[in-house]
Structure formats: C-alpha cells, structure tokens
Structure 1
C-alpha cells in the first residue's frame, strides 16, 4: 500500500452548550479532518483530536496540523506499507506530536480496512486472533461538564439517564463542594458514576478525596498533575476508591510506572493521546498483563473519531463503559452521514468497510474545495 495524496480541512464544531472542564470552557471546537488516498483510489479518514489550547496535554491543534503538513506527510511519498503496524513503526520514529501521528495512523487503518474489504472492527479483532462473533454494540457512558451547583448537576445527570446512559462521569475542579457530591449520590445511589479531576488537585487536597471515599464512585480520574506518579500512589494508598490515570499515560513506560509505583488501578486509553491505534493496542495489552484495568476514553470527537472509538471499545479487553456519546450530545451539527444513538446504555458499531462512516453533505462540500496534495 502506498499513500499518494492527501488533503486536510479544519471544521469549526459548534457546541450545543458551553462545555466546562478543569478551568476552561469551550463553545466551539476546531477539528481538522484528514483524508489520505492510496494508489488504488481508496480514501481513509483520520481526525486531529488535539484541543485548541494546551489545557489537556501540551499538544495543540495548530501544532499537529503543522507537523502533518511539514513533517509527516512529506516523508510518506513513495514508501510501501504492508500493514498498519509497519506504518506505525515508521511514524513512531518521527518523534512528531502524538495526536498528529494518531490522525495519520488512524486514516491508514481506515484505508487498509477498505483495501481489504473489511471493517476496521474486523481488522482490529484479527490482530488478536478473533475473527468470529464480533459484538454489534458496546456499552457506553457520558461525561458531564462542570456546573455551578448540585441542583444543576442533578438536573443534567437526570437528562442523560433519561436518554439511556447507564454510566456517568462528572467533571470536577477545586471549586466543587463535597456537599454537592454527597447530594448527587443521595439522588443517584445506584448509578454507575465516576469523577474526573483533569489534574486540578494536589496531594494537599487528600482530605477532599478521603471525605468522598465512601460515596461509591467507580473511580477518581487524574486528580493530580500530568507527570505525577508518586503522589498518585500516595493518594491511592490512603483511599479505597480506585484511581484512574489519563493525562499521565503517553507511552508504554508510563503504563509500567503506574504498575511499579502503584499509582492507580485503571488507565483511560485514548487512541489519539498515545499516537494511534497500534500504540493503544500494545499499551492496553501491557496494562492488562500487569493487572491494570483499561477502558476507552473520548475527547469530544466528531463522528469520525467516534467510529474509531466504538470499534476499539468493542475489544474484549475493556470491561468498563467508555466515554463515547451520541451524535446529538455535544455538537449542533456533526460531520458524518451516520448518526450514533443510545439504546439502553449501548451504541451500535458502524458496519461496512473501514470505519463505516461517510462525511455529511456539507462536510464533503468543504473537502471538495480543498486540493489534493501529491506525495509523489
């Protein structure tokens, strides 16, 4: 397989309502979608999932786009790749931003699946030696942004439960009151629920986490800094609620740090954050082998990124519902023809070759106005 042309277009995704996490609020989300074409005319889609500003990890959308245009794509012309794993080894050697590498590598998986007339899910399962009885649906959850008080949070949680979500993730920060979390659990004592701190706390806040340790949260995600393994271990040693690490996990070495330092019990695996599907597969396998639990996270993706996540989350490694929300959850208009709906806490995995989605009419028009860039 040779990649002969590519094009990329930025879409400004308008959120239905402001989305708050950590100390940031989003009303729009610029996302670049990548198209790559092989020598047979097949087209693969990938998504640059970095945020506009470095408030999740250090990589940002503009940096990733620049790396794709000036570093990654110019080096691909004329090279032949037999498998997506071979391509991943090559792209890993570039030391480019991981979310830039992931966008290209995801497009390669989509392209390779289409060349072989199989779905991305089928191709994924073939890598673990399982070709039959693939799941048609996966259990999913929803992340709820920061609200001002428990009344607003309870109202939003109820809305999402009414839509069919069975697992709720609450974004919190240092302004969140213990009494609000207590009140939320009083209203929803049986709902599978977790909290996500997005690195907003420090070990000095250990009493906060000790105070909510009896609220039966499934896990506490990323309470401390992006490079902090030692203090996460200290906190885990004094609370029974499992700690989940997210922003900390970029490489296989980071997975082993969690295990060796006892920094937590769960890992939130995001394809984009770790540099692509191949890396995510390898790191997930490493985590499972060392007794850590892994689940599939989300990053306010469009329908393109959501399709990748659904297939990935259907792998048998994952036993906890991922952050994969319905098409109508965040954006006024998504960019794929296919809509993703919740039914009893589950979402269907797209069928068809590749990731199983096509760009919407409006998104396709935007791409038609972009010129293909030749890599010959």
Structure 2
C-alpha cells in the first residue's frame, strides 16, 4: 500500500491494500498502475494513470501502449523492457516518458513485472510507477496486486526481510540485497541478529523480534544493518507478526525505509496479503472507515495518534457528527453518501477535530467498501496528514 519520519509532505509508504478492496485500491491508488497483454495492448489503467495522462480507462484500453502513449524517442527501449518482461525478465526503476492527452510529457519511474495466470503462463506485464515529474513532491507509493505479490515484494523499492520462528532469514528482497550487499542466497537461513545487526543493537533488536513472535508488532524501530563491505545502513522498520492460514505465528516480516541518506530514501510501501490486518493497523497513513450507517468500523493506529481518540473510543461512533468540524459536515456527508452509492472521491480535504480540540487537515481518498458478494458495506478512507504541509 505512508509517512511519519520525514513529515507530512513525503508521507511514508502510502497505501496498504485491503484484500476484498484490492480492485478499488488499485484503481484509486496514489501510484500510477498500468498493464498490457501479450500483444502489448493496454488492459490495466488505474485512476492515477488516467489523471496523469488525461486518457480515461475507456480511451486507453486495447490501445498499443508503446505507440499510443510513449514518446517517440523512447519507444524502442520501452519495447525492449516490455519484451523482456513478457519473457519473464523484469526491470526495476526504468524511467519512461508518457505523452499525455494534452501533448505534455510525464516522467514515470516504473517497475515492469511479468504477469502470470494460475497455470504460471505469462499473460502480460504490469507496471507500478512513480510520477517523478514534480520530483520534490511526488508520491512513491506502491500498490500491490495479490497475484503479483511475490514479484512486487522482490522488486519493491522498500527493503523487505523476514525471519522464521528460529530467527533465521526466510525473506530478503532485492532492495535489501542492494542495501546490504548480501544476495538472497547468502542471507537465507542465516541468523538475522548475529549475522547482520551491529553488536550494540543485537539485544534490543532481539527483543523487538521476540515481541513480534508473540504477536506484538513494533512500528518505526530504527536498527543498524552491517553490510557486506562493513558499512552501516540505518533502517526504520515496522516489525509485523507473520501467520499461516491457521493463524499460527510462523515468523516476523520487516518492511523498512533506508534512512541513511534521508533526503533520497525510498518510501515505497510493500503490502503483504496475509499480514494485511497488521499492516493496516500499524500503517503510517491514517486509515479509517464507516459502515452503511455512517458509524466508524475502521480506525488504525495512525488515525488514533492524529486524533487522540483510541480505536475503542472511535468505534461505532457516527464519523461525521463526532469527528468532523461543523462547517464541513454537510460536504463530508455528501462525499460519504456518494461512496456508499459506489462513487469514490479522491484527494478530498477534510478537517478532523481531535480529542484535544485541535484541527488536523487530512487529504482523503474515499473508496467504496464491498463484501465478497459485491454488496456495498461501507466506505474506507486512506489519507495523508497535511496539517504541516
């Protein structure tokens, strides 16, 4: 799927996808997501891509991506990237230039990932991108798709690593390999603490992992990795309990930011389907939701931190009359009513009244929430805190 360590303008790890709302979150993600079939024709085109290019999904679908949307000077190289992905050879951090409907150019930094069907046949390519046109402000969120979770974890711009119940490494993505200098093969099955953590932090890191192995996750814990070249990399980590299908604890996963070079660190979000609930609760972006009656039924830790109201205090309270300033209640109610009719709203600014009677300004994507039968059951809001924007 957002922010915290370097303040609101560059919120940390933007959107965490919810399993039953994956389609909606892909469509409304703050990151451009687009894809092609094996013939190079567009078959994925989310709202952000439409916003950036000016072409609607209907206008883009079934059009050849390269000749229609890529500037002429880059068509050959982009075609090579897509051809490689259609052969199973993916490309990370490839910069391409999209030609918009108004004939402007948007610069996108793209991970091109092979798309496969249930039988593992290659059926196309999906691109998850960052709009780097306005580099100082661009949002680098990554939206994960369930069927491409493994590929997206491996190629994510955030370090992702994990251990089993014995403390041995069993997850080590490409970014972690890049940062540490140790390949996945070199890291796997090694004890994380004694192999990669500096001696002065081993005890405290062990405590964090032990807590996660008891079901108690830790957010924004700073640790120091020792690299293969004996340098130190500083990572800000969310340590989350990993569970199997029977809810047994099987390990810990860490989703991190490299804050060694804070001005240029990567803030991508990696969402993991089986840890979705834990990652939503510990996300650095405010996530809240209502049922069809307008009462709160989602309230993550960041929302609690920003508003001062705990999840217990917020749950089952009417969102609008309890937390929204009076002057905006009517307009916020209209946004929620629209979402309850299946019409989401992006980048809507609202004002939350906190427990201490202060105002927090949130920029919100309001997305319809549906059950397994596609019935509308509420609204979920994924927000940025822009109070100090």
Under TM normalisation by the shorter chain, which class is it?
A: under 0.3
Report which of the two has the higher share of strand. Answer: 2
- Per the normalisation by structure 1, the TM-score is 0.25
- Where relative contact order (Cα < 8 A, 6+ residues apart) is larger, the structure is 1
- Per the normalisation by structure 2, the TM-score is 0.24
Structure (1 or 2) with the larger CA radius of gyration? 2
